Amino acid sequence: MQKYTLAPEYELEAALPADAEALARLQEAMALETEHLRLEAATLRAGVAALLADPHKGIYYKITHQNQVVGCVLTTFEWSDWRNGQILWIQSLYILPAHRGKKLYSATYRYFQALVLQRPDWCGIRLYVDKTNQAARAVYQALGMDNGHYEMFEWIALPDKPVH
């Protein structure tokens, strides 16, 4: 992927292994800000490194301003047998507060929409958002996304929580 201009002096491009620490710091900030969680640093850094080393897991993108990483977004994929197409999932989206309000996510979303529309085997975009993150929900709705008719359920295996 070449650099894609989001706004004057802001670019989107695929992240490289050298960006791992910046991405991890952004994820720490996002978890603290949006969910009041402190992530386990070693696990997070290993997870970012694993993804950057294996594009089958997903693709991390960085948002840069004057060559500094100020935001990130991760894309992963879901195959829909009902639609016979790939759904692009947007995850781990975070933009530093000082760089918000510049429509950077809107431009990023339009970039991903264009990717989906160019590929006959791709059919849509999905993301999940914390139910309490009203600001993000408003942005997604303003872009024409809706929360559909699905609810998300999850089960995450954690080493300190046995299965019952």
- How do the pLDDT tens digits run along the chain, 164 residues long? 789 999 999 999 999 999 999 999 999 999 999 889 999 999 999 999 999 999 999 999 999 999 999 999 999 999 999 999 999 999 999 999 999 999 999 999 999 999 999 999 999 999 998 888 898 899 999 999 998 888 889 888 877 665 55
Sheet hosting strand 68-80, strand order edge to edge: 4-7, 10-14, 59-65, 68-80, 85-95, 122-127
Between the two ends of the chain, the Cα-to-Cα distance in Å is 45
Residue type, 4: Y
- Put simply, whether the predicted model's pTM sits higher than 0.75 gets the answer yes
Q: Which of 138, 145, 125, 102 is nearest to 5 (CA)?
A: 102
Residues forming beta bridges with residue 72, ordered by sequence position:
62, 94
How buried is residue 70: exposed, middle or buried, by Cβ count under 10 Å (0-12/13-18/19+)? Answer: buried
Task: Map residue 88 onto helix, strand or coil.
Answer: strand
The CATH architecture that domain 4-142 belongs to is 3-Layer(aba) Sandwich (3.40)
Q: Which of 5, 3, 1, 24 is nearest to 104 (CA)?
A: 5
- Asked whether 7 and 104 are in contact (CB, 8 A), the reply is yes
Which DSSP category does 97 fall into? G
Using one digit for the tens of pLDDT, what is the confidence trace for 61-100?
Answer: 999 999 999 999 999 999 999 999 999 999 999 999 999 9
